[in-house]
């Protein structure tokens, strides 16, 4: 980290600043220039509070040279993280396909969709039991019952299950869920993240609607810092000025996150645009851009879906998309 001191600052003020910074467990390399004095901070700067230094009146600017995360940082963990879930791998070399309805609606629905997506080649079953809805009047999911139905569908197909946890008190009910999803709106629910860091279970962490990639990795760091390093990143669209799509799917985050971090990345095109007819094109692009898989909403009857039908595809469409995606996985030399 580089601290640029304002011109004409008194030496004693600089010395006071140096002492303040050094209390944060780092060392200072002092360099007096013609206009500006520059302080190079040496050591573990993840613990250094940039905002605090910047608020000092003699500081012109602060430049981070190293990223503020460690566990999620490829620099300190050059190899790709590969996460094993019930014998299936998520991460480099494998394309994971997570499919299923936005929300679990009945045993018949979830079991039938599960069988169908499994036959088409999906590797995980998704299904929402607790649904974050912007309106308190909208369907909020089946809750605990939904989780039970997911387990029945898992039993019927062998597909590991992925479901969203909305609040800490639901955690006990997720003990037998294979991958816990943290939704976009909870990406900076730090207390939740911290607790999920204390369990031994893969976490599918969705990027917040207006989270920068750095904030996204910092949220992964919250989980990893506590000991759980099984974090799967999931890009699901960011909020921009564009209104033709519900969100703007940021596929360019894949090469950038892959460079900065060793964690696997899954793309969710269904939420990315909210338009079912874009799912095929964007799923292909997700594999081409280097993602480790896609998460696709599949519903047997999108028009009757209790939530987000406009972005769901039918099992028949899913089957056709899967055939195409396999060709892409092949060029990328990945198992699918």
- Among positions 70-129, residues that touch a copy of itself (CB under 8 A) are none
Q: Would you count residue 9 as binding a copy of itself (CB under 8 A)? A: no
SS3 content of the chain, % helix, strand, coil (to 5): 40, 20, 40
Do the bridges between strand 37-42 and strand 27-32 make them parallel or antiparallel, or are there none, so unpaired?
antiparallel
Residues 6+ apart with CB under 8 A from 258: 265, 290
Cβ proximity to a copy of itself, 27 vs 155, nearer residue: 27
Q: E-strand spans in the chain?
A: 2-5, 27-32, 37-42, 59-63, 83-85, 88-90, 96-100, 124-126, 161-164, 179-182, 203-206, 231-235, 265-267, 293-297
Using CB under 8 A, which of 84, 281, 316, 335 touches a copy of itself? Answer: 281
What are the two backbone dihedrals, phi and then psi, of residue 123, each rounded to the nearest 5 degrees? -110, -15
The site map against a copy of itself for 149-178 (x = CB under 8 A) is -----------------xxxx---------
Beta bridge partners of 125: 99, 161
Using CB under 8 A, which of 73, 157, 270, 273 touches a copy of itself? Answer: 273
Cβ proximity to a copy of itself, 69 vs 85, nearer residue: 69
Beta bridge partners of 126: 162
Q: Rounded to the nearest whole angstrom, what is the least distance from the CB of residue 85 to a copy of itself in the complex?
A: 25
Q: Would you count residue 198 as binding a copy of itself (CB under 8 A)? A: no
Q: Would you count residue 227 as binding a copy of itself (CB under 8 A)? A: no
Q: Would you count residue 143 as binding a copy of itself (CB under 8 A)? A: no
The site map against a copy of itself for 29-68 (x = CB under 8 A) is x-x-xxxx-x-x-x---xx-x-xx-xxxx--xx-x-x--x
Residues 6+ apart with CB under 8 A from 59: 3, 4, 5, 6, 17, 53
Q: Tokens 């769901």 identify what position?
A: 312
Cβ proximity to a copy of itself, 145 vs 242, nearer residue: 242
Query: Rule CB under 8 A: which of 309-328 touch a copy of itself?
Result: 309-312, 327-328
Query: Rule CB under 8 A: which of 205-224 touch a copy of itself?
Result: 209-210, 212-215, 218-219, 221-222
Cβ proximity to a copy of itself, 85 vs 224, nearer residue: 224
Q: Would you count residue 134 as binding a copy of itself (CB under 8 A)? A: yes
Cβ contact 207:233 at 8 Å: yes
Exposed e or buried b per residue across 231-247, where buried means at least 16 C-beta atoms within 10 angstroms of its C-beta:
bbbbbbbbeeeeeeebb
From the list 110-118, 156-164, 173-181, 184-192, the region that binds a copy of itself by CB under 8 A is 184-192
207 vs 184: CA distance, rounded Å: 5
Q: Would you count residue 23 as binding a copy of itself (CB under 8 A)? A: no
Q: Rounded to the nearest whole angstrom, what is the least distance from the CB of residue 42 to a copy of itself in the complex?
A: 5
Cβ proximity to a copy of itself, 80 vs 115, nearer residue: 80
Using CB under 8 A, which of 9, 112, 248, 314 touches a copy of itself? Answer: 248
Distance of CA 329 to the CA centre of its chain: 21
Using CB under 8 A, which of 76, 84, 255, 323 touches a copy of itself? Answer: 255
Q: Would you count residue 10 as binding a copy of itself (CB under 8 A)? A: no
Token digits for 106? 């009945």
Q: Which of 194, 200, 157 is nearest to 180 (CA)?
A: 200
């Amino acid at each position: 980290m580089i601290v640029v001191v304002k011109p004409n600052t008194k030496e004693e003020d600089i010395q006071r600043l140096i002492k303040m910074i050094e209390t944060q467990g780092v060392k200072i390399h002092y360099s007096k220039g013609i206009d500006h004095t520059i302080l190079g901070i040496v050591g573990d700067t993840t613990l250094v509070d940039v905002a605090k230094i910047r608020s000092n009146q003699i500081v012109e600017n602060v430049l981070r040279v190293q990223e503020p995360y460690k566990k999620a940082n490829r620099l300190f963990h050059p190899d790709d993280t590969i996460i094993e879930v019930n014998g299936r791998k998520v991460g480099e070399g494998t394309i994971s396909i997570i499919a299923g309805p936005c929300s679990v609606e009945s045993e018949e629905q979830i079991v039938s969709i599960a069988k169908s997506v499994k036959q088409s080649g999906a590797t995980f079953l998704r299904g929402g039991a607790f649904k974050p809805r912007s309106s308190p009047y909208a369907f909020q999911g089946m809750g605990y019952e939904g989780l039970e139905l997911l387990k029945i569908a898992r039993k019927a197909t062998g597909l590991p299950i992925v479901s969203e946890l909305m609040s800490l008190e639901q955690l006990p009910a997720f003990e037998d869920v294979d991958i816990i999803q943290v939704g976009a709106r909870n990406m900076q629910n730090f207390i939740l993240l911290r607790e999920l860091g204390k369990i031994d279970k893969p976490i599918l962490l969705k990027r917040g609607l207006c989270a920068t990639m750095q904030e996204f990795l910092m949220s992964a760091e919250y989980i990893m810092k506590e000991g759980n390093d099984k974090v799967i990143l999931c890009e699901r669209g960011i909020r921009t000025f564009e209104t033709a799509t519900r969100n703007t799917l940021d596929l360019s985050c894949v090469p950038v996150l892959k460079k900065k971090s060793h964690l696997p990345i899954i793309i969710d095109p269904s939420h990315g645009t909210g338009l079912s007819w874009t799912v095929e094109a964007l799923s292909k692009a997700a594999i081409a851009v280097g993602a480790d898989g896609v998460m696709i909403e599949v519903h047997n009857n999108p028009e009757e879906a209790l939530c987000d039908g406009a972005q769901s595809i039918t099992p028949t469409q899913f089957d056709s998309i899967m055939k195409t995606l396999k060709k892409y996985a092949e060029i990328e030399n990945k198992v699918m």
